[in-house]
Amino acid sequence: MQVGYLSEAFVSFQGEGLHVGRRQLFLRFCGCPLRCLYCDTPASLVRTEGFVAHGLPNGTYTNPMSLDDISVVVSMLIEQHGPVEGTSLTGGEPLAQADFIAQLLEAGGLPRPVILETAGMMPKALEKVVEAVDVVSMDLKLPSNTGETAFWDLHREFLAASRGKVYVKVLVDASSSRNDLIGAADLVRDVAPETPVFIQPITAESSTILVGEGDLSNVYKIFRNRVEDVRVVPQTHKMLGVA
Ligand code: SF4
């Protein structure tokens, strides 16, 4: 039996992507192989000794967690803060714990739909869970603003494997290069052009959006010239002041 490492658990409003505004249960897994310059969840980058289930009395728990442990936390969170319309498996990079997540999904009990929020560069790990999740929220990482290497080939394989249940997020700020944006738009057009694309201006904790309107319009045109379903949506949870 696998065990899992969580960073936090809570009920809140989905702030990004296709299900924005929905009340959801969030399970944030800790551990991530990347170090994006704009990362807004630094506490989830490495495995921790414990985690907090926000809004529960005595809501501090010790990692690793068993399936039964998580089931108890989920039930208490929903009882106290529900109803919810789905579950977000987020991180960190949840696919770094794909074996555990596969068992968690098989056990049942998570509110549906289950959305997997991922950096979209672990296609082999995705194979273990893609049938069991309802929606894949996949980032397309631009090396010009992540500070990381490019993952185009892995992104291509990942998008193909999640086709039919995936939407794509492209996080942009003033440092996003035109070459990267064109590369990302070409990739979606070539692999799965029906995929909804969310251009997501990176948003500071102060709710300041880190890209100008002119740049955003240019980014929109780059994608809209290649794929049909393109939307610009900021990180709304930061504007609401929620987790
Ligand atoms: S993939 Fe996500 S969690 Fe990992 S460093 Fe990048 S933004 Fe942070």
Q: What is the pLDDT of residues 79-129, one digit of tens each?
A: 999 999 999 999 999 999 999 999 999 999 999 999 999 999 999 999 999
Does residue 47 lie in a domain region?
A: yes
Q: SS3 letters for 83-120?
A: CCCCEEEECCCHHHHHHHHHHHHHHCCCCCCEEEEECC
- What is the residue range of 67's domain? 6-240
Atom index in ligand 1 nearest the CA of residue 38 equals 7
Per the structure, the count of domains in the chain is 1
Atom index in ligand 1 nearest the CA of residue 34 equals 5
Helix (H, G, I), strand (E, B) or coil at 68: helix
Band of pLDDT at residue 1, cut at 50, 70 and 90: confident
Ligand 1 centre from 240 Cα, in Å?
22
Q: Which of 84, 143, 140 is nearest to 111 (CA)?
A: 84
Q: What was the pLDDT predicted at 144?
A: 97
Does residue 1 lie in a domain region?
A: no
Measured CA to CA, the distance from residue 21 to residue 239 in angstroms comes to 12
Quick one: which H or E segment has residue 171? Answer: strand 166-172
Ramachandran region, residue 128 (left: φ > 0; alpha: ψ -120 to 50; beta: rest): alpha
Does residue 154 lie in a domain region?
A: yes
The CATH number that applies at residue 181 is 3.20.20.70
Quote the mean pLDDT of the chain: 95
Residue 39 CB less than 6 A away from ligand 1: yes
Quick one: which H or E segment has residue 101? Answer: helix 98-107
Q: What is the pLDDT of residues 161-216, one digit of tens each?
A: 999 999 999 999 999 999 999 999 999 999 999 999 999 999 887 778 878 787 89
Could you check whether the bond before residue 64 is cis, i.e. omega within 30 degrees of 0?
A: yes
Atom index in ligand 1 nearest the CA of residue 42 equals 8
Cα separations in angstroms, 68 against 16, 31, 92? 29, 21, 22
Q: What was the pLDDT predicted at 22?
A: 97
What pTM did the predictor assign?
0.96
Ligand 1 centre from 79 Cα, in Å?
30
What does the pLDDT average to over 135-161? Answer: 98
**Residue type (1 letter), 61:** Y
Task: Using the predicted structure, report yes or no on whether residue 9 has a pLDDT greater than 80.
Answer: yes
CA-nearest residue for atom 3, ligand 1, is 92
Does residue 51 lie in a domain region?
A: yes
The answer to whether 161 touches 126, Cβ cutoff 8 Å, is yes
What does the pLDDT average to over 6-29? Answer: 97
| Phi, psi angle pair for 83, to nearest 5° | -75, 160
Atom index in ligand 1 nearest the CA of residue 119 equals 1
- Residue 42 neighbours by CB distance under 10 Å: 9
Residue 148 CB less than 6 A away from ligand 1: no
Band of pLDDT at residue 141, cut at 50, 70 and 90: very high
CA-nearest residue for atom 7, ligand 1, is 39
Ramachandran region, residue 36 (left: φ > 0; alpha: ψ -120 to 50; beta: rest): beta
Q: Of 47-56, 110-119, 141-150, 210-219, which gets the smallest average pLDDT?
A: 210-219
Residue 36 CB less than 6 A away from ligand 1: yes
Q: Can you name the residues that pair with 168 across neighbouring β-strands?
A: 138, 197
